[in-house]
Chain A
């Protein structure tokens, strides 16, 4: 596997560089090589070669990162579980993947029914970073996201998928990490965005700065930017929403790259954030877990590149090796300028949801292009392609609701609601089902109560009356999922309209 070989070369070549900064403690690539080798030796001695899916408790320490590399050198996949998630959910994940072995750096492991490799207390081992020969269709990791049925939904990613991601980033001339880079890694390792925040720095010999569990992450990130002079940031947009009141105090000239992903980036806040980072290129990345983190990006610039739709920054063009296709309900391509569901094809596409043939039949299809059969993943995101070939994000397919028979895009309501508001607060439009089974529109505002008459007057001047929310609720703090996205389902419970 090419990229695993490159990891070996990078770790050897950058031995005296720092690889990780965890809670103020620095570790070098040489330290990393020692930890990897110890864990790898334990894997070889404990785990049967036929066992490919290995559990990993995602603590914030060098052993946890070293475990990922040790597993990859052996051609095995990590199945990460968050130590703060309920044990019932984590054991369910291991049950679904038939995982018998768990690598755990905790002081004492709670996985009593599994064979645990206690990665913090392993004997010394000879340095061994040479990857084993294995085939690229083996799995590199499986991540579980919440499924609509309550059972977690597994997304397996192969070594070939990861290779496809690295090929795409290598092809991109505007993004090049160097060994002197200091990179933010703010994600839980059960969230797929973390793959790019540890893998790209490791391949370049750069240093990764993590957020300790329990730290106030918004301020800790700022502290790292200021005191450690981070050069590369990879974030979800909700981080800067919370830091927004303090933007006038932020000036970070060392930051060279700032990549966003995992949610809609709004143009007003992007502009303000860009003012805080005078020497920085901003990338608005797009990509679902099912397509190995990234599928493409839009290079944002506050003056020259501000393309947006309803205030949401464009997602740009597909990266090397990826094709985008916008389709209608029958999976037929729609013309330029017409909104449809975005589908992704290419080397990074998952082989399919873990043991879920029903969901796979719904989410994937093949299409013959130039006598080749191309497999596509349906993202559930509505997009349109403009005349210049840029893709614009319109909203989630399931956020397109029918109100009194009209198709309504919730993002559009949010855009107009926020446009004239003096208060820079979060607003979310929701479809609430009334006791007749009809959908009515609600507007949730993340704030103490204030007078909304101006907001409503503006909305009425911009949208037909069926698009004007009938219910308003002020919510002090929006409920969020573990990945920092707004939990719309829970937010709906604030609307007791019946």
Chain B
């Protein structure tokens, strides 16, 4: 799976949890940039992403995730790519 495909699936997960698509995800996007992305919805997005890619994040990785770029990097490494 290339980065664009991962980003597109991640975007779908965001849309399904936040129930809107008024955002454009880039590597630098953080919770401050997206309406409704906060502590509780973040936990839902993480669960949704885990389901989509059939992976399980480690707490250590989640702890250091500061933006969408970090999320994509972690997905990539979990997928073993």
Is B44 engaged at the interface, CB distance under 8 Å to the other chain?
yes
Is A361 engaged at the interface, CB distance under 8 Å to the other chain?
no
- Taken together as a complex, chains A and B put the C-alpha atoms of A215 and B38 apart, in Å, by 8
CB neighbours of A215 from chain B (8 A): 39
* Inter-chain contact A477/B41, CB cutoff 8 Å: yes
Is B55 engaged at the interface, CB distance under 8 Å to the other chain?
no
* Inter-chain contact B59/A250, CB cutoff 8 Å: yes
- Taken together as a complex, chains A and B put the C-alpha atoms of A49 and B15 apart, in Å, by 54
Q: How far is the CB of B15 from chain A (nearest CB, A)?
A: 14
Closest to A249 in B: B59
Chain A interface size, as a band, is 10 to 19
Stretch of A116-124, A127-135, A153-161, A217-225 contacting B (4+ beta carbons < 8 Å): A217-225
CB neighbours of A357 from chain B (8 A): none
* Inter-chain contact B39/A218, CB cutoff 8 Å: yes
Chain B interface size, as a band, is 10 to 19
* Inter-chain contact A217/B39, CB cutoff 8 Å: yes
CB neighbours of A223 from chain B (8 A): 63-64
In the complex, per-residue mask of A241-270: 1 if CB is within 8 Å of any chain B CB, else 0: 010001001100000000000000000000
In the complex, per-residue mask of B41-80: 1 if CB is within 8 Å of any chain A CB, else 0: 1111000000000000011101111000000000000000
Q: How far is the CB of B5 from chain A (nearest CB, A)?
A: 24
CB neighbours of A217 from chain B (8 A): 39
* Inter-chain contact A216/B42, CB cutoff 8 Å: yes
In the complex, per-residue mask of B29-44: 1 if CB is within 8 Å of any chain A CB, else 0: 0011000001111111
* Inter-chain contact B59/A477, CB cutoff 8 Å: no
* Inter-chain contact B41/A246, CB cutoff 8 Å: no
* Inter-chain contact B43/A242, CB cutoff 8 Å: yes
* Inter-chain contact B44/A219, CB cutoff 8 Å: no
Is A489 engaged at the interface, CB distance under 8 Å to the other chain?
no
Closest to B42 in A: A216
* Inter-chain contact A226/B63, CB cutoff 8 Å: yes
Which single member of B32, B42, B59 contacts A222 (CB below 8 Å)? B59
